[in-house]
Amino acid sequence: MQKRKLGPFQVGAIGLGCMNLSHAYGVPPSPEEGAALLLRALDLGVDHFDTAALYGFGANESLLGRTLAQHRSRFTLASKCGMTGVDGKRVIDGRPETLKRTCEEALRRLQTEVIDLYYLHRWDKNVPVEDSIGALAELVGEGKIRAIGLSEVSAGTLRRAHAVHPIAAVQTEYSLWTRNAEIAVLEACRELGAAFVAFSPVARGFLAGALTDPAQVAAFETKDIRRAMPRFQDAHFAANLRLLDDYSAIARETGHTPAQLALAWLLSRGEHVLPIPGTTSIAHLEENLKAADVVLAPGVLERLDALINTRSVSGPRYPAATQSEIDTEEF
């Protein structure tokens, strides 16, 4: 697989987002199934694994620790702090003492002496970002983390943080149907030499062609976070479905799967862009990784841009309550 820069590290252009092995999309796979997928990813050359304290309220970090600790030298390990589970509830807390405690907990769960890339998962707007980054910088000095990242922040917040300590990466949702990064932060990352790590690069399954009927959405499990996302609801989803016929036709013309088309488009957006698709399926994992070798012709890229964009996609990406918690620029 081609390599790209992730802060001080060189990693494969496509990494693995591990969230849905423990969190967010209904009942997760068994720990044994999750471990099998992680090991298959490692065998296929994946060397960038992305987790967080939030995912499964520690369960995802523990899964990676149990499964991959003995292979620690073979991959770059990314995790996140600042948004965790407290008494069964999701809590955003960016206070320096909380971040340091969370790091100690993460190191134990991950069964490692150092986390390669540690993100502030959410900027706690009650705490100056400079204070949170200052605490993470102290963790760098102590050798507990190697590099600092930010998640779901604006270009302005990125620059404030970068003035305290170099920021290696920003992680934010980015795909054909979520273009907010193009407002400012994608370019700010390029200017500052930070990687842009794109989560949900196949639009939470939509651009993989797996969701073609409103009945599938209605059947989402209770804990599936897409149930609350406007783009998957009622009239918005019906409107978005109309994009899939032409999108699937482009995939067939180019000889790639819809997911590979979405990932290849992302890889074309800049050498500093690294998608981290997640999956619970080994077959989908193998399919996704093959996208690293796909090069789309300029005319195909233009057609994709014209078809799926901020004007053609119906509905905001988050409900209002979630949107209020994040710092990304909005159209």
At 274-300, the pLDDT tens digits run 999 999 999 999 999 999 999 999 999
What integer pLDDT is reported at residue 247 of this predicted model?
Answer: 98
Largest distance between two CA atoms of the chain: 54
DSSP codes of every residue in 252-310 = HHHT--HHHHHHHHHHTT-TTEEE----S-HHHHHHHHGGGG----HHHHHHHHHHSST
Nearest of 236, 184, 227 to residue 204 by alpha carbon: 227
At 138-151, the pLDDT tens digits run 999 999 999 999 99
Nearest of 20, 326, 24 to residue 172 by alpha carbon: 326
248 within domain boundaries: no
Consecutive 10-residue runs of the chain (331 residues): their mean pLDDT? Answer: 96 98 94 98 98 97 98 98 94 98 98 98 98 98 98 98 98 98 98 98 95 94 94 96 97 98 98 98 98 97 97 96 95 91
Question: According to DSSP H, which parts of 154-273 are helical?
Answer: 155-164, 185-192, 214-218, 234-241, 244-254, 258-267
Q: Which residues are part of the catalytic machinery?
A: 55
249 within domain boundaries: no
CB-based burial, 202-238: b 16+ in 10 Å, e otherwise: bbbbbbbbebeeeeebeebeeebbbeebbbbbeebbe
Q: Report the Cα 298 to chain-centroid distance in Å.
A: 26
251 within domain boundaries: no
Taking the CA atoms of 167, 186, 197 and 131 in sequence, report the sign of the dihedral they define. positive
* CATH assignment at residue 21: 3.20.20.100
The pair of structure tokens assigned to 198 is 């794109």
Question: What are the distances in angstroms from CA 258 to CA 134, 252, 291, 326?
Answer: 42, 8, 10, 29
Dist CA 246 CA 252 (whole Å): 10
Calculate helix-pair angle for 31-43, 282-289, nearest 10 degrees: 30
Number of independent structural domains in the chain: 1
Question: What are the distances in angstroms from CA 166 to CA 9, 24, 160?
Answer: 14, 31, 10
84 within domain boundaries: yes
What integer pLDDT is reported at residue 268 of this predicted model?
Answer: 98
200 within domain boundaries: yes
Nearest of 159, 178, 127, 174 to residue 272 by alpha carbon: 174
252 within domain boundaries: no
Question: What are the distances in angstroms from CA 161 to CA 121, 126, 219?
Answer: 13, 15, 42
At residue 37, φ and ψ (nearest 5 deg) are -65, -45
What integer pLDDT is reported at residue 88 of this predicted model?
Answer: 87
Domain with 180 in it: 3-205+258-295
